[in-house]
């Protein structure tokens, strides 16, 4: 019987990969330590597969076809786009998929009630997926089911919709006869701005939002997170803060339980998010 054995929320800032090679800069040491802590957590639960919820950056989802959520269901997937290899030093990778688990989430013959997922048999994963996997599964030996989310091209799915997605993943995976130990991982940001006047100031562009966001995860306050993540509030916190919505999916997939670990680690990019829920099946 399938079960979710661990839920994690992590950052995917592409510049981290090159910058955290030894010797690690002092301001990034905390980020490396948190990723190491989470890598150990993941290894301890021995997942058979990872469902990875991350934002598309106009790679798989295009303005000619912009669904809210897309599932990659290929048995093998490539990762890292050429510009990410060139600009950030992220290596190109080949990843194993889990088509059976992907079809379970997508729906074998009919789309699930309430979710009109798109899907791809040719997913090409970008840094939002690859960076967390390089840190958490350095051997890239755990099959992956990617769920791309639209956090960049309005109209976006609402915060409630991201919560519903997490609840759906929990009910579908934990209620399945499929033999899988599944880790759900979400990647995203706290308050974050790219290309604007608050980019890389050495502090968060909106510390108040970050405090609330970490508190929602720590307390398992799903309703508070949904209420606090309207479009205007996220936009005010920084133009990439919308990617925090992926963590609402993680919180819901963990049954809206208080996180066993919740932190925003200060560094040159602001506060990098790290959330974990252990043994979250009830």
The model's pLDDT over 184-238, given as tens digits with 9 standing for 90+, comes to: 999 999 999 987 777 777 789 999 999 999 999 999 999 999 999 999 999 999 9
Give the integer Cα–Cα distance in Å for 170 and 167: 5
Tokens of residue 126, six digits: 């970008």
Tokens of residue 4, six digits: 């979710």
* Higher per-residue confidence, 12 vs 62: 12
CA 46 to chain CA centroid, Å, is: 19
Q: Contacts by 195-202 with C-beta closer than 8 Å and gap 24+?
A: 195/239, 196/238, 196/239, 198/238, 200/268, 200/269, 201/270, 202/268
Sorted by where each starts, the structural domains of the chain and their CATH numbers stand as: 3-278 (3.40.830.10)
The model's pLDDT over 65-77, given as tens digits with 9 standing for 90+, comes to: 788 999 999 999 9
Confidence of residue 175 (pLDDT cuts 50, 70, 90): confident
Residue 90 and residue 127 in contact, taking contact as beta carbons nearer than 8 Å: yes
**Res. 64: pLDDT tops 80:** no
Confidence of residue 112 (pLDDT cuts 50, 70, 90): confident
Mean pLDDT of 129-142: 98
- Burial level of 271, CB count in 10 A (0-12/13-18/19+)? buried
Residue 6 and residue 181 in contact, taking contact as beta carbons nearer than 8 Å: no
Q: Coil, helix or strand for 171? A: helix
**Res. 269: pLDDT tops 90:** yes
Nearest to 249 by CA among 149, 155, 181: 149
Confidence of residue 282 (pLDDT cuts 50, 70, 90): very low
Predicted TM-score (pTM) of the model is 0.95
């Amino acid at each position: 019987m399938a079960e979710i054995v661990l839920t994690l929320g992590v950052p995917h800032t592409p510049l981290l990969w090159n910058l955290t090679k030894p010797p690690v800069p002092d301001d990034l040491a905390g980020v490396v330590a948190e990723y190491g802590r989470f890598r150990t957590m993941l290894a301890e639960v021995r997942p058979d597969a990872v469902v990875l919820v991350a934002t598309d950056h106009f790679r798989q989802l295009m303005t000619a076809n912009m669904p809210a959520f897309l599932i990659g269901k290929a048995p093998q997937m490539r990762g890292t786009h050429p510009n990410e290899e060139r600009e950030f030093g992220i290596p190109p990778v080949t990843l194993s998929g889990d088509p059976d688990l992907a079809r379970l989430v997508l729906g074998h013959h009919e789309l699930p009630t309430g979710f009109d997922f798109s899907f791809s048999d040719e997913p090409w994963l970008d840094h939002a997926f690859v960076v967390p996997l390089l840190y958490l599964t350095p051997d890239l030996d755990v099959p992956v089911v990617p769920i791309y989310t639209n956090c960049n091209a309005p109209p976006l799915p609402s915060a409630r919709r991201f919560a519903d997605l997490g609840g759906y993943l929990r009910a579908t995976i934990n209620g399945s006869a499929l033999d899988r130990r599944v880790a759900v991982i979400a990647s995203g940001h706290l308050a974050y701005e790219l290309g604007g006047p608050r980019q890389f100031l050495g502090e968060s562009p909106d510390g108040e939002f970050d405090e609330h966001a970490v508190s929602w995860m720590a307390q398992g306050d799903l309703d508070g997170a949904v209420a606090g993540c309207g479009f205007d509030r996220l936009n005010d916190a920084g133009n990439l803060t919308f990617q925090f919505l992926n963590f609402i999916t993680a919180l819901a997939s963990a049954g809206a339980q208080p996180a066993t670990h919740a932190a925003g680690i200060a560094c040159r990019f602001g506060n990098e998010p790290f959330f974990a829920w252990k043994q979250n099946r009830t």
